Structures are given as structure tokens and as C-alpha cells.
Amino acid sequence: MKTRTIVALAGAVNIRKGATIMRVLGFILASAAVCLLLAGSASATSTGWVTMRFTGVSPGDGVSTNMGGTTAGVYNHRIYLYPTRWGDLLDGPDPDTLPDQEASQLISSLTYAGGGKDSKGAYTTGAYANVQTFCADFRQYVYTGEDVRRDIFRPADAPIGNGNTPMGDDKAADLRRLWDQYSGYGIGNAPLGTYTANEKSAAFQTCVWEIIYETAAYNVTANTFRVTSGETWTGLANTWLGNLETVDPDIGLRILVSETRQDFAIIVPGVGADPIPEPVTMAGLALGIGSVLTYVRKRRMA
């Protein structure tokens, strides 16, 4: 009888231990799920912002499309490097409480172009760097010399044009493939047969618009988005679009988004394809640890 009682008690203890372990695991799994939910929601927002001044399109070539006429090519901007000029807090949250890690990474990767430094080599309020981007928004405008704040988005989360529909994973993947394989031609650095720098840049830019706006098979002279003028480089653009194969997972392609002006695509070195903002990661970790500690404290008080 005593033996059975002891065995029964031991079994009860084991059940309680098992229940305790299951509860702790439940807390951990729930915390992890919340962490992932927070990370997912954060990836759908901007991860910083910069203010840019548009300086012109070069190299590039005029093009007529069913959405209107414009110059297709490299959209050049000036980004100011002095943080307090634009309120870019490089090591902390900006006024929108969004982490500026990618703005910091972008600005730190830029080569100083002009505007002055002080006697200690620090940037003055006029210091700037020139950057090369491609237009990701055909339906809005940009004006030379105008300073515009733009939020940094992953391509998949960036809205198409001035609408609310995000590009999605498929378009984002094709944009990254395009950059991985052909951006060297687009910015005029690589030779390519008889094509001029202007023609190569126009072809690359048109590929960007085609991927973003097209709803059928890629063809820059047909379907939803199409070139309506007889440009000599449309065949080159279609060749690139028909051979989107490899992609470097470390390519940090981002879309710089404005609500009222054109959006632009740019490479942010070192951030990779799909970063999780550090504050969100830490919040999830703190939530997980806090949940377990709270449970243990309640168990001790019981």
C-alpha cells in the first residue's frame, strides 16, 4: 500500500513537472510567435529615411510609353551627410520612432562629394554625396533642386506608384535579379557591343518599370506597360528580362518612397535582402524572457 502511494505521489510529481515544462515551453513558443509577428509587421514599414535633392537624369534617353513620355536612365540625387541638417539621427530612432539603421548604413557607405569639412575633417552642414538611383514610380513627378524626404522600404513592401498596393515578393525578387545581373550596364559602367551609355541606362530603367507595372509576361513593347516609340534598345531590355536567373542574397535593394513625389530604387550596402530591425528583435527577446521569469515568480509564490 505504501509502495503504491509512493509511486502514485512520484507520478503526480512527474506530471506536475511535465506540466510545468509544458507551460514554460508554451510561454516561450508564444513569445517567439509574438516576436515573429512583430518582426513581420516591422518589415512592412520603413526602416529609416533620408532627404534627397534631385539633380537630373544622366546617362539616359527619351522614351514614350503608354503611361506618358519621360527620360529613362540614371536618376541622380544628392544626399546630405550632416545629420542635423535633415534631422536624420543615425544611431537612434527618428522623429517617427522608426529605426534609422538603414539610413545610417546608406549614408556611411557614401563617398564624400563636396560641401565642405571642418578643420578636424568632420562634415559641415553643406556636406553631401552624389548617388545613382533608378525610378520606381512612373506616375508621379520629381523636380530638379527640390529636397524630398523619402522612407526606406524593402521592395516587396513598397507601394506601386502612388497607390497602396505593395509590389509583393515576386516583383521584388525579379528586381533584385535585374540588379544582380545587369545594373553595371544600367549605370553605364560596362561596355556592351554598340550600345551607348544612354541606351543601356534607358534599357535598364525601362526594365525596372516593366517589372513593377507589368501584369502579364515581361515585354517592354506590349501589355500593361509598354514603350510606344521605336527605340533601338527595347530588344536589349527584353533580353535582360528574359534572363533573370541568379541573385546575390546580400543585395540590399531598397525603394525610397515619397507620398507626393517619385519613388527610387537604390542599393544599401551591407543590409541584405530582408533585415529585421534590431529594436523589434530585442523587444521579442525581452518579451520571451519576461514571460518565463513572470511564470517562475508566480510558481515560487504559489
Q: How is the chain split into domains, by residue range?
A: 2-41+280-301, 53-274
Scan for cell 533608378, then name that residue.
Answer: 134
For 23-52, the pLDDT digits (tens) are: 555 544 444 444 444 444 434 577 678 889
CA-to-CA distance for 43 and 36, rounded, in angstroms?
10
Confidence of residue 53 (pLDDT cuts 50, 70, 90): very high
More confident residue, 183 or 90: 183
Q: What is the mean pLDDT of residues 163-190?
A: 92
pLDDT at 1 over 70: no
pLDDT at 257 over 80: yes
Confidence of residue 243 (pLDDT cuts 50, 70, 90): very high
For 94-108, 133-147, 193-207, 271-285, which range has the lowest pLDDT when averaged over its residues? 271-285
Q: What is the mean pLDDT of the chain?
A: 78
For 1-10, 118-127, 232-241, 269-278, which range has the lowest pLDDT when averaged over its residues? 1-10
pLDDT at 301 over 60: no
User: Is 256 in contact with 50 (CB distance < 8 Å)?
Assistant: yes
For 181-236, the pLDDT digits (tens) are: 999 999 888 888 899 999 999 999 999 999 999 999 999 999 999 999 989 999 99
